[in-house]
């Protein structure tokens, strides 16, 4: 008896109850492997204000200091004593940017903090919403009137640095104009796995470094350099930035896996499929996984109380499978 569960994963239930998990290596299997998000699909908000200097265009070695610039933003002067209330009322038109302070101290003409002005603070406003004193909506204008705050706008010179920019803004400014900019990647533990296009290759080291800088926890970025191997389903890769340690630790559906990502197949997008197939199993079932990889079916099945027989053609996978079985304390349940 055979029940097809999905086009490329099948569970075979035999009369004597063992369950076999197999994988059909149809050419379109590779379509489940990592896809990339093109930045052109993402909304281009704030690019006016947060557009880095033109001089960074074409940069191939990351020079973070070259992204610093001073931009002029509108600001409103608020007495410190009612600051919180007024800021709350102006929330919709205030400058909103993670990492940027929107309430700042006043400065005198030399650019130094002015202690005589300590009784006031400046609230920085979004230049897309507020261009003049008349730009406030009726709600904000009424609040300002009620608190006795003058509806006057002044200009504040805001220093923006590399740290204030998103990876999208950085890469869009560096890579050739009009070409797709890709910052999408698959995350496998500490490794970000990219699939760059030809026109991005001259910038690959810089792209890798930006991905590390802007994604906490990512300490290594790799790029796929060939098509997927048809038997073992792995591929060659180049380290673009960061450490060259390829041994990833991944938690999937509550199970911990370790493996050398440069040598074995692991696709984070299969997590739901692994969970779905395992949910079909019952305690006491016998499962035979003939293409077990590093164990994403086998180990959860053993944890569920199944008796498991696992196989893989490639010794590297087999060794990591054994390692993961021990790591999850189910090695006695897997043959």
Ligand X SMILES: C[S@@+](CC[C@H](N)C(=O)[O-])C[C@H]1O[C@@H](n2cnc3c(N)ncnc32)[C@H](O)[C@@H]1O
Closest C-alpha to 123, from 175, 86, 81, 174: 86
Q: What CA–CA distance (Å, rounded) separates 223 from 208? A: 9
Whichever of 105 and 252 has its CB closer to ligand X, that residue is 252
98: burial class by Cβ within 10 Å (0-12, 13-18, 19+)?
Answer: exposed
Pick from 50, 136, 235, 291: which binds ligand X (CB under 6 A)? 291
Among the residue ranges 37-45, 90-98, 182-190, 288-296, the one whose residues contact ligand X (CB under 6 A): 288-296
Count other C-beta atoms under 10 Å from residue 273's C-beta.
Answer: 17
Q: What CA–CA distance (Å, rounded) separates 162 from 53? A: 11
259 binds ligand X (CB under 6 A): no
Residues ≥6 apart with Cβ < 8 Å to 322:
331
Among the residue ranges 54-62, 121-129, 210-218, 292-300, the one whose residues contact ligand X (CB under 6 A): 292-300
Closest C-alpha to 42, from 171, 199, 136: 171
Closest-CB residue for ligand X? 293
317 binds ligand X (CB under 6 A): yes
Whichever of 6 and 145 has its CB closer to ligand X, that residue is 6
Pick from 270, 302, 308, 330: which binds ligand X (CB under 6 A)? 270
The residues facing 77 across adjacent strands are: 122
8 binds ligand X (CB under 6 A): no
Whichever of 242 and 296 has its CB closer to ligand X, that residue is 296
Name the minimum Å distance from CB 327 to ligand X: 16
Whichever of 168 and 312 has its CB closer to ligand X, that residue is 312
> How far from 187 is each of 248, 266, 274, CA to CA, in Å?
10, 10, 17
Q: What CA–CA distance (Å, rounded) separates 310 from 136? A: 67
235 binds ligand X (CB under 6 A): no
Name the minimum Å distance from CB 267 to ligand X: 6
Among the residue ranges 42-50, 70-78, 165-173, 309-317, the one whose residues contact ligand X (CB under 6 A): 309-317
231 binds ligand X (CB under 6 A): yes
Whichever of 67 and 297 has its CB closer to ligand X, that residue is 297
Closest C-alpha to 273, from 42, 44, 9, 54: 9
325 binds ligand X (CB under 6 A): no
User: Residue 171: in which H helix or E strand, if any?
Assistant: helix 167-174
Binding region for ligand X (CB under 6 A): 23, 231-233, 265, 270, 290-293, 296-297, 311-314, 317
């Amino acid at each position: 008896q055979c029940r097809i569960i999905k086009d490329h994963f099948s569970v075979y239930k035999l009369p004597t109850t063992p369950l076999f998990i197999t994988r059909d290596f149809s050419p379109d299997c590779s379509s489940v492997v990592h896809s990339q998000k093109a930045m052109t699909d993402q909304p281009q908000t704030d690019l006016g204000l947060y557009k880095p200097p033109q001089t960074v265009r074409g940069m191939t070695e990351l020079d973070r200091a070259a992204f610093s610039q001073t931009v002029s933003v509108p600001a409103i002067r608020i007495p410190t004593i009612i600051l919180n209330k007024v800021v709350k009322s102006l929330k919709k038109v205030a400058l909103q940017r993670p990492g940027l302070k929107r309430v700042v101290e006043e400065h005198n003409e030399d650019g130094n903090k002015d202690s005589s002005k300590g009784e006031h603070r400046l609230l920085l406003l979004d230049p897309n919403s507020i261009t003049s004193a008349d730009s406030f909506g009726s709600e904000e204008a009424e609040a300002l009137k009620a608190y006795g705050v003058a509806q006057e706008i002044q200009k504040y010179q805001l220093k923006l640095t590399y740290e204030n920019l998103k990876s999208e803004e950085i890469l869009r400014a560096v890579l050739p104009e009009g070409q797709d900019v890709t910052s999408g990647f698959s995350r496998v533990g500490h490794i970000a796995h990219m699939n760059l296009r030809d026109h991005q290759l001259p910038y690959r080291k810089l792209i890798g470094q930006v991905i590390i800088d802007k994604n906490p926890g990512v300490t290594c970025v790799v790029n796929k350099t060939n098509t997927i191997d048809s038997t073992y389903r792995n591929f060659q890769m180049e380290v673009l930035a960061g450490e060259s340690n390829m041994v990833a630790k991944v938690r999937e559906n509550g199970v911990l896996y370790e493996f050398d990502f440069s040598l074995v197949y692991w696709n984070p997008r299969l997590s739901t499929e692994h969970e779905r197939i395992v949910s079909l199993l019952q305690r006491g079932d016998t499962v035979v996984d003939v293409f077990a990889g590093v164990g994403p079916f086998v180990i959860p099945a053993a944890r569920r109380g199944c008796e498991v027989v696992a196989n893989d053609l490639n010794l590297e996978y087999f060794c990591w499978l054994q390692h993961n079985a021990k790591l999850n304390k189910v090695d006695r349940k897997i043959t």
